[in-house]
Structure 1
């Protein structure tokens, strides 16, 4: 019987269970967040600086189905400055970013300004304070997931990402979870 979990990946954790030779030994791994079955794998990834919903499973078929299909992933993104409707429209239409040194145009996506701003628990490494200028929050929903794509997209329209929190994968939502919290999910409904 396969097991499925969702976690609120905290800032500073890698989306893996074991260190590879390229990974420094002092990095925090998902296995520190709970007692998972040996064959548990992350479905997709969140980079070390990103937070939020990460799905885990012992079922490789479920993992391949979610990562290989057009399942939506929604992110709440705090950006440097007050983003406007022109930049939101650019994000919606797709922007040019670099992937592995090559120019790539992102697929059209859903994006909008979040007002009011979402409230999340403070991050373990604080984000700059108001003395450094204003910030704003947006929602970006993608069906693709290139390396650091959302960060590259916001930078491409002139608003670098300060904080990135994934809030939804398909029908699974972050809900009221707190950083490091793990919940078993009997059946993913993606």
Structure 2
């Protein structure tokens, strides 16, 4: 059976094991030799990162040709509209082409850990949350999609990849799971 590790990546952590200046990396949290991230999360995104030593499993998770679903909880600036959600569901035109259709819905504020540093708060600007599931992995895709429909991303948390989700995994912690 392949070894698969789920890690709840904090904001600001670089999604690699090698040192990159002063910023924290996966090596500061996951002391398991021989595993590598199956896909990446930007340093300013949080949430589920899967790590494995199995090259086939890594490809199945990360390679867009397998169209593995990735679900994000996204705090956006403004109160999301049904028109914007419909646009996300139909695919959004970005500079590098049209995105695949996504699953998108408005959600109540999720019960998440506090972010460090906190998301900026402005009394005069509302915010809201959406759940967004995509099946591709372009660079900063979710942020670009929400901006393209007029609702810039304030906070981005990857909640699930395929059948694996964060559930009750605390921020900065990891656990080994069945690779299925």
* TM class, shorter-length: over 0.9
How far apart in 1 are the matches of 2:116 and 2:171? 9
Q: Which residue of 1 aligns with 2:80?
A: 83
- Report the count of equivalent residues: 178
Query: Is 1:52 matched with 2:43?
Result: no
Q: 1:110 aligns with which of 103, 106, 117?
A: 103
How far apart in 2 are the matches of 1:57 and 1:179? 19
Query: Is 1:170 matched with 2:162?
Result: yes
The two structures have a TM-score, normalised by structure 2, of: 0.95
Assess, with a 3 A threshold, how the Cα gap between structure 1 residues 105 and 172 changes in structure 2: closer, same or farther: same
Q: Deviations over 1:101-140 (max 9, x none)?
A: xx311011110100x2111110111111242521000011
Q: Deviations over 1:76-119 (max 9, x none)?
A: 00000001100000011111112xxxx311011110100x2111
Cα displacement (A) at 1:67:
1.5
RMSD: 1.2
- The DSSP-based 3-state class of the residue aligned with 2:157 is strand
Q: Give runs of ≥4 in structure 1 deviating > 3 Å.
A: none
Query: Is 1:10 matched with 2:18?
Result: no
Listed as ranges, the gaps of 5+ residues in structure 1 are none
Q: 1:159 aligns with which of 129, 151, 161?
A: 151
Listed as ranges, the gaps of 5+ residues in structure 2 are none
Q: Deviations over 1:6-44 (max 9, x none)?
A: 01000000111013xxx4x1121001002111x210010
